[in-house]
Amino acid sequence: MTVEVPKRIEVDDRAAMTITWEDDRVDRFSAAVLRAACPCAGCREVAPAARGTSIDAVHLVGNYAIGVTFGPDGHATGIYPFDLLHSLGTELA
């Protein structure tokens, strides 16, 4: 299985993130959707993110994932592998 890799990742006014994939597919994720899909151990057992969730920062994790820092609480422990983001985009389409 080939994992799609982003060509470009953009944060839109801290409210959403847009990913353009190598195959030119474009997915847009709101901050709330990303936070609700956070794969970290703590988030899998916590209620959905509150309104006002923002994307404060995005950074690459190796060559397979991104890390996201959310506001207003500073949550930053979730690592989003590219295959997870690609499949999440397919689910939301």
**pLDDT tens per residue, the chain (93 residues)?**
677 899 999 999 999 999 999 999 999 999 999 998 999 988 877 666 667 899 999 999 999 999 999 999 899 999 999 999 999 987 775
SS3 41: coil
pLDDT at 44: 76
Q: Which residue in 58, 55, 8 sits closest to 32, CA to CA? A: 55
pLDDT at 22: 92
pLDDT at 58: 96
Number of C-alpha atoms within 13 angstroms, CB side, residue 5?
Answer: 7
Q: Which residue in 21, 16, 24 sits closest to 68, CA to CA? A: 16
Structural contact between residues 2 and 39, judged by C-beta atoms closer than 8 angstroms: no
